[in-house]
Amino acid sequence: MKSRLPFLCFCMFAIGINIAMAQSKLKSQDPDSRSAKSGSSVQTGIPDPSSRMDWWRDARFGMFIHWGVYAVPAGEWNGKKEYGEWIRNSAEIPLEEYDQFRQKFNPVKFDADAWVKMARDAGMKYIVITSKHHDGFCMFDTKQTDFNIMSTPFKRDPMIELAAACKKYGLKFCFYHSIMDWHHPDYLPRRTWEKDRTTEGADFNRYMAYMKAELKELLTNYGDIGVLWFDGEWENTWNEKYGKELYNYVKSFQPNVLVNNRVGAGRLDMEGLTKSGAFGGDFGTPEQQIPATGLPGVDWETCMTMNDHWGYNKADKNFKSTKEIIRMLADIASKGGNYLLNVGPTAEGLFPQESIDRLAAIGKWMKVNGESIYGTQASPFKELSWGRCTRKTAGDRTILYLHVFDWPSAGKLVLSGMMNTPEKAYLLADLQRMPLKTERDNDALVISLPKDAPDPINSVLVLELKGKLDLTEPPVFTTEFDTFVDSLPIAITTNRENVEVRFNIGPTEPSASSALYSKPIGIKTTTTINARCFRQGLPVSGTITREFRKVDPVRAQYPDRVMYPGLRYSYYEGAWDSLPDFNKLTPLQEGIVPDFIVTPRSQDERFGFVYSGFVLIPETSVYIFYTGSDDGSRLYIDDFPVVNNDGLHSMAEKSGTIALAKGYHRIRVAYFEQTGSDNLVVLLKGQTLPKQVLPQNWLFFN
DSSP string, 302-349: EEE-SSS-SS--TT---PPPHHHHHHHHHHHHHTT-EEEEEE---TTS
> CA 337, CA 532: separation in Å to the nearest integer?
31
Q: Is the pLDDT of residue 19 over 80?
A: no
Q: According to the model, what pLDDT value does residue 1 have?
A: 59
Same domain, 201 and 243: yes
Give yes or no: residues 643 and 670 share one domain: yes
Q: What CATH number should be reported for the domain holding residue 421?
A: 2.60.40.1180
> Is the pLDDT score of 20 beyond 70?
no
In a domain, 36, yes or no: no
Looking at the fold, whether 138 and 274 belong to one and the same domain comes out as: yes
662 contacts: CB under 8 Å, gap ≥ 6: 556, 617, 618, 619, 620
- Round the average pLDDT of the chain to a whole number and report it: 92
Same domain flag for 444 and 342? no
Percent of the chain surpassing pLDDT 90: 84
Does one domain contain both 209 and 288?
yes
pLDDT attached to residue 14: 39
Among 125, 251, 235, 133, residue whose Cα is nearest residue 191: 235
359 plus 419 within the same structural domain: no
pLDDT digits (tens, 9 = 90+) for 77-133: 999 999 999 999 999 999 999 999 999 999 999 999 999 999 999 999 999 999 999
pLDDT in tens, 193-210: 998 999 999 999 999 999
Q: Is residue 42 part of a domain?
A: no
As a whole number of angstroms, the distance between CA 339 and CA 579 comes to 32
Kindly tell me if the per-residue pLDDT of 445 is higher than 50.
yes
Q: What is the pLDDT of residues 301-354, one digit of tens each?
A: 999 999 999 999 999 999 999 999 999 999 999 999 999 999 999 999 999 999
Are 650 and 672 in a shared domain?
yes
Q: Compute the distance between CA of residue 449 and CA of residue 347 in angstroms, rounded to an integer.
A: 49
Last residue of one domain, picked from the residues 315, 348, 372: 372
The radius of gyration of the chain's CA atoms, rounded to the nearest angstrom, is 27
> Which of these, 605, 585, 601, 598, lies nearest to 673 by C-alpha position?
605
Residue 290 CA: distances (Å) to CA of 202, 327, 343, 392:
39, 12, 18, 21
DSSP-derived 3-state class of residue 701: strand
In the sheet that holds 692-693, the strands lie side by side as 652-660, 621-630, 679-686, 692-693
* Coil, helix or strand at residue 225: coil
184-190, long-range: CB within 8 Å, 24+ apart, which pairs?
184/136, 184/145, 184/210, 186/210, 187/136, 187/237, 188/237, 189/235, 189/236, 189/237
pLDDT of 17 above 60: no
Total count of residues recorded for the chain: 702
Residue 558 belongs to a domain: no
Kindly report the number of other CB atoms within 10 A of residue 702's CB atom: 11
CA distances from 265 to 96, 170, 604, 659 (A): 31, 33, 22, 39
The lowest-confidence range among 270-274, 445-449, 521-525 is 270-274
Closest CA to 612 of 640, 636, 648, 642: 636
305 and 171 inside one domain: yes
Q: In this predicted structure, what is the pLDDT of residue 49? A: 52
- Mean pLDDT throughout 395-421? 95
In this model, does residue 13 exceed pLDDT 70? no
Q: How confident is the model at residue 3 (pLDDT cuts 50, 70, 90)?
A: very low
Q: What is the CATH number of the domain that holds 538?
A: 2.60.40
363 plus 394 within the same structural domain: no
Burial of 249: CB neighbours in 10 Å, binned 0-12, 13-18, 19+:
middle
Residues 6+ apart with CB under 8 A from 255: none
CA separation for the pair 100, 106 (Å, rounded): 12
- Residue 22 reports pLDDT greater than 70: no
Range with the poorest average pLDDT among 10-19, 243-252, 345-354: 10-19
pLDDT for the residue 167: 98
pLDDT of residue 4: 39
Residue 50 pLDDT: 60
Q: What is the CATH number of the domain that holds 311?
A: 3.20.20.80
- Together in a domain, 542 and 599: no
Q: What is the pLDDT of residue 24?
A: 34
Task: For residues 243 and 365, state if they share a domain.
Answer: yes
Condensed to tens digits (0 to 9), the pLDDT of residues 536-585 reads 999 999 999 999 999 999 999 887 889 999 999 999 999 999 999 999 99
Question: Environment class of residue 497 by beta-carbon count within 10 Å: exposed (0-12), middle (13-18) or buried (19+)?
Answer: exposed
Is the model's pLDDT at 524 over the cut of 70?
yes
pLDDT number for residue 651: 81
For residue 21, name the pLDDT band (cuts at 50, 70, 90): very low
Strand partners, 463: 400, 425
| Number of domains forming the structure of the chain | 4
Q: Which of 526, 550, 574 is the last residue of a domain?
A: 550
Question: Considering the domain boundaries, does residue 664 fall inside one?
Answer: yes
Instruction: Answer whether residue 20 is part of any domain.
Output: no
Q: Which residue has the higher pLDDT, 649 or 351?
A: 351
Residues 329 and 218 in one domain: yes
The DSSP code sequence of 367-428 is HHHGGGTTT-B--S-S--TTEEEEEEEETTEEEEEEEESS--TTSEEEETTB-SPEEEEEET
Residue 149: domain span: 55-372
Average pLDDT, stretch 250-277? Answer: 91
Nearest to 664 by CA among 558, 552, 554: 558
